[in-house]
Amino acid sequence: MTEHVLELSSRFIDTGRADSPPNRVTHELSELADGVALVEAFSHVVVVKTDDGLVAFDSSGPGSGRRVLESLRRWSDDPFHTLVYSHGHIDHVGGSRAFAQDAKSSGRPLPRVIAHENLNPRLQRYRATNGYNKVINARQFGGSPVSTLGGPGSQQPFVPEGTLEPVIEYSDAMTAEVGGIEFQLHHAMGETDDHTWTWIPHHQMISAGDQFIWNFPNCGNPQKVQRYPLEWAASLREMASTDVELFVPAHGLPISGHDRIVSCLNNVASTLEQLVDDVVSAMNSGSTLNDIVGAVRVDPEALELPYLRPLYDEPEFVIRNIWRLYGGWWDGKPSRLKPASDVAIAVELAELAGGVSILAERARALAEAGELRVACHLIDMAADAAPESAAVHEIRAWVYLTRRAAESSLMSKGIFESAANESREAAGQEFERRRPKLSLEE
């Protein structure tokens, strides 16, 4: 018999070890309590039954909404009364057209959509940065160079047509009563500025969105806008102060048991608070960003917890995010305030070295010796100095694939793989052109 999702999470947390991926994209439904169901997908959908119909949290993404609905419809045929968006990331709102389709095909009204007031402006920003968002996903999830963006599906807008927009918005907090069940919505800053976490007293349950993702918090993503670590931690502390017995994040496993939930929430909160503390005190003493990145560390034991492993985002990126939040974009190195072009520096260095090929070979030797950070600088310079050289690009592809293999986070792996593929393409080599794979696990 397969282990119930709540037994699985208890085992992972209690033993401190996950022997299978906690982020599962099964599209299968699990009942978590009487009248509460979860469908695990790239982002999950959580549903609560009420006397007036179903209340759903998130809609999953454009590619999974329909499959999630099929699973839900085998569990209940009640109408969807309300859809609450935990935040405006596309993997949470992009499946809503499947909910619209479901209502239409059964002649029922659309579910009313509730969200924080910053969600609609977020969708507007995504429309204004449509191409950029596709570039991000091509790198992060596909490991693909930008040149692959013209492939199948490239005409699809990033915010899918037919995405349901919120009809009820709130600012700080809001209580909604549906069919005799109370839903207390709380605004939180954290992964985004438009997060909603919901406390449902009847079930002693929290629907948490992405404030908890069974990975190191997505608080540093190098390609995305500002994240808010202290506000994030504060929201986790607030969740921990409820009588919660059932905790349902939008990625990873649901968790049961008050003490177990509280210890997870407090561990993530402490990790974020400690990082902010360390970075800000180093800033206060005049350190540069580069020094801080080299010096600040998260307790390695915390990074082994089954819900804090840096498999998606990672602490180094969070440090940069904290610098940007409390400082600015300049990293404190005077030459980088108004830097020379990459090509000008590369040409100068190649000449000093005695030729581009010497620079490239040195990069290869450094990579072989495990000096991957320096190796990447040198090979980028070699490629900047000789962008047409197939020989340089062959080495660059190898250096970045080696770098990729040494990384733990999906974000680093994706970006380094996309650099490798960029060079494979420049060197005329074959590589797999694949569509972005939306998965937190590799």
List residues binding Zn ion (CB under 5 A): 43, 89, 210
- Tokens in use for 427? 């060197």
Q: Which is nearer to Zn ion, 61 or 306 (CB)?
A: 61
To Zn ion, the closest distance from the beta carbon of 86 in angstroms equals 8
Q: Which is nearer to Zn ion, 43 or 271 (CB)?
A: 43
Q: Are strands 168-170 and 173-178 parallel, antiparallel or unpaired?
A: unpaired
Q: Which is nearer to Zn ion, 129 or 357 (CB)?
A: 129
To Zn ion, the closest distance from the beta carbon of 51 in angstroms equals 30
To Zn ion, the closest distance from the beta carbon of 307 in angstroms equals 15
To Zn ion, the closest distance from the beta carbon of 65 in angstroms equals 14
To Zn ion, the closest distance from the beta carbon of 251 in angstroms equals 6
Nearest to 56 by CA among 137, 124, 113: 113
Burial zone of 341 (CB within 10 Å; 0-12 exposed, 13-18 middle, 19+ buried): exposed
Taking the C-alpha atoms of residue 297 and residue 282, their distance in angstroms, rounded to an integer, is 12
CA of 91: how far to CAs of 85, 117, 433, 438, in Å? 11, 19, 22, 9
Q: Which is nearer to Zn ion, 210 or 316 (CB)?
A: 210
Taking the C-alpha atoms of residue 220 and residue 411, their distance in angstroms, rounded to an integer, is 10
Other Cβ atoms less than 10 A from the Cβ of 78: the count is 17
Check if the beta carbon of residue 191 is closer than 8 Å to that of residue 312: no
Nearest to 409 by CA among 283, 299, 314: 314
To Zn ion, the closest distance from the beta carbon of 337 in angstroms equals 36
To Zn ion, the closest distance from the beta carbon of 417 in angstroms equals 21
Q: Are strands 246-249 and 255-256 parallel, antiparallel or unpaired?
A: antiparallel
Taking the C-alpha atoms of residue 247 and residue 272, their distance in angstroms, rounded to an integer, is 20
Taking the C-alpha atoms of residue 153 and residue 95, their distance in angstroms, rounded to an integer, is 17
Taking the C-alpha atoms of residue 213 and residue 89, their distance in angstroms, rounded to an integer, is 14
To Zn ion, the closest distance from the beta carbon of 294 in angstroms equals 30
Q: Which is nearer to Zn ion, 262 or 440 (CB)?
A: 440
To Zn ion, the closest distance from the beta carbon of 212 in angstroms equals 11
To Zn ion, the closest distance from the beta carbon of 91 in angstroms equals 5
Q: Which is nearer to Zn ion, 88 or 306 (CB)?
A: 88
Check if the beta carbon of residue 58 is closer than 8 Å to that of residue 93: yes
Q: Which is nearer to Zn ion, 67 or 87 (CB)?
A: 87
Other Cβ atoms less than 10 A from the Cβ of 299: the count is 12
Other Cβ atoms less than 10 A from the Cβ of 148: the count is 21
Q: Which is nearer to Zn ion, 5 or 372 (CB)?
A: 5
Q: Which is nearer to Zn ion, 18 or 250 (CB)?
A: 250
Of all residues in this chain, which one has the CB nearest to Zn ion in the complex?
A: 210
Nearest to 130 by CA among 159, 93, 163, 95: 159
The three-state secondary structure class of 162 is coil
- DSSP letters, 45-107, are EEEEEETTEEEEE----TTTHHHHHHHHHHH--PPEEEEE-S---HHHHTTHHHHHHHHHHTT
Q: Which is nearer to Zn ion, 102 or 210 (CB)?
A: 210
